[in-house]
């Protein structure tokens, strides 16, 4: 690698997610790197048989405040921010050691707040301060050093050093990733602290989705597309769907399946909804999934062709076989699909079969967003139901009980 310093290179490693860290550190040690680490990471590396220098030995200052202050020290940030050809005199004057590689990932704040029993005190203790500060410092100085925050990049970094490749482009890419990582982390914290505030519309709206899949194309074949999952969301809905069989989900499949899941989740009774082109073309409630499906299908058999079928109850084998016998279908989604139902649908190998917990209407949260050219429209989610509000009869004849039930049903489907 061009411009390699004659002194031993130094790597600072401090990670909460220790996946692959021993392999990374071992590879760096083989390449002549001196390893510096903190607390639990240092213990893990020593257990792997590696020689590690504690951060406190580098700073001359012990960890304090129950670990809240470990790396917030000029000896660390000077070593990260120092520029080659500019800051040598200052580094030498203050006895600071250069740091050439930083591997950091952050306290598991997201996993912590997803725990239903999480208290605010516990959540606050999982707000990482030193980690983001180091990531930002190293990413700012990516012209000189390498920063890595994703265990998935460890092998790429090692390969670049082992092959003596120039890492200029890789360093820039990883620096961008580090800033994205800290931005997402800060967004999680900001959203958590805003949760109990009465105004749902902050002055600055920050989104921090994580790409979960590349799509073959968008709404049309000439459009590129991807799917992003928003942070700190429950394992419900299309975002958490588990695909059991079939071709890869398309942009339109995901959009239609989301519509179907949200619609079927609005019913407490056993329900089936069939969606085509983002609109319900058949929907019904009944005593069983099979009966609900048959009624939904009979609403409009022509539009149901090639549609998306969603249930809010487990899919049984009899209903699955009925679908196979009756129609061509793109996607079938249910909260669970036992093996007999999977076997019935296996005959249609291209059918995308999904398990996804529906989202009950009264648990829908967050903002409903729609994009415009250069902006976003934001509104509260529509969780209201007709029985929750005063219904005014505008005709001379009041609806019968059955007619009112039908109107409420239609209102739920149409909203």
Instruction: Give CA–CA dist 200/61, Å, rounded.
Output: 44
Provide the token pair at 95. 């006895």
Where residue 374 falls (left for φ over 0; alpha for ψ -120 to 50; beta otherwise) is left
Positions of E strands within 90-148? 101-104, 146-148
140 is catalytic: yes
Where residue 83 falls (left for φ over 0; alpha for ψ -120 to 50; beta otherwise) is beta
Q: Which residue has the tokens 């996804």?
A: 356
Instruction: Give CA–CA dist 295/354, Å, rounded.
Output: 22
Of 140, 177, 247, 415, which one is the catalytic site residue?
A: 140
Query: Any idea what DSSP says for residue 334?
Result: E
Instruction: Give CA–CA dist 376/353, Å, rounded.
Output: 32
* 8 A C-beta contact, residue 244 and residue 356: no
277 is catalytic: yes
- What residues form DSSP beta bridges with 225? 215
Of 51, 94, 277, 349, which one is the catalytic site residue?
A: 277
Provide the token pair at 187. 């967004």
Instruction: Give CA–CA dist 28/151, Å, rounded.
Output: 14
DSSP secondary structure letters along 350-381: TSEEEE-----GGG--SEEEEEETTEEEEEE-
Question: CB-based contacts of 202: which residues, under 8 Å, 6+ apart?
Answer: 194
Residues with catalytic function: 140, 277
């Amino acid at each position: 690698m061009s411009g390699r310093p004659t002194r031993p290179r130094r790597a600072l490693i401090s990670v909460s997610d220790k996946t692959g860290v021993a392999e990374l550190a071992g590879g760096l040690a083989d390449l002549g790197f001196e390893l510096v680490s903190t607390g639990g990471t240092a213990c893990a590396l020593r257990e792997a048989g590696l020689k590690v220098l504690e951060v406190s030995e580098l700073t001359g200052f012990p960890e304090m405040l129950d670990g809240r202050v470990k790396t917030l020290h000029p000896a660390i940030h000077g070593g990260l921010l120092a520029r080659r050809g500019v800051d040598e005199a200052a580094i030498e004057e203050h006895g600071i050691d250069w740091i050439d590689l930083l591997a950091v990932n952050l306290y598991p704040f997201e996993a912590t707040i997803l725990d239903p029993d999480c208290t605010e005190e516990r959540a606050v203790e999982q707000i990482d301060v030193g980690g983001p500060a180091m990531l930002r410092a190293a990413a700012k100085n990516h012209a000189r050093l390498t920063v890595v925050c994703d265990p998935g990049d460890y092998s790429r970094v090692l390969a670049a050093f082992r092959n003596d490749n120039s890492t200029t482009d890789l360093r820039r890419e990883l620096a961008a990733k580090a800033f994205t990582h800290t931005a997402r982390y800060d967004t999680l914290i900001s959203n958590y602290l805003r949760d109990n505030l009465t105004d749902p519309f902050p002055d600055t709206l920050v989104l921090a989705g994580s790409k979960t899949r590349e799509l073959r194309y968008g709404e049309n074949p000439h459009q590129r597309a991807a799917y992003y999952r928003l942070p700190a969301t429950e394992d419900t809905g299309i975002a958490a769907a588990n695909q059991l069989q079939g071709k890869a989900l398309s942009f339109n499949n995901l959009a239609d399946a989301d519509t179907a899941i949200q619609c079927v989740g609005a019913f407490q009774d056993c329900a089936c909804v069939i969606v085509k082109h983002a609109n319900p073309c058949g929907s019904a409630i009944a005593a069983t999934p099979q009966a609900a499906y048959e009624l939904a299908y009979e609403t409009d058999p022509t539009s149901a062709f090639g549609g998306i079928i969603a249930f809010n109850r487990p899919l049984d084998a009899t209903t699955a076989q009925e679908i196979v016998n009756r129609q061509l279908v793109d996607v079938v989604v249910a909260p669970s699909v036992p093996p007999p139902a999977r076997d019935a649908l296996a005959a249609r190998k291209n059918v995308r079969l999904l398990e996804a917990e529906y989202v009950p209407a009264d648990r829908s949260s967050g903002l409903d967003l729609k994009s415009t050219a250069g902006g976003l429209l934001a509104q509260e989610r529509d969780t209201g139901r007709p029985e929750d509000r005063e219904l005014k009869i505008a005709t001379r004849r009041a609806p019968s009980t059955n007619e009112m039930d039908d109107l409420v049903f239609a209102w739920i489907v149409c909203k």
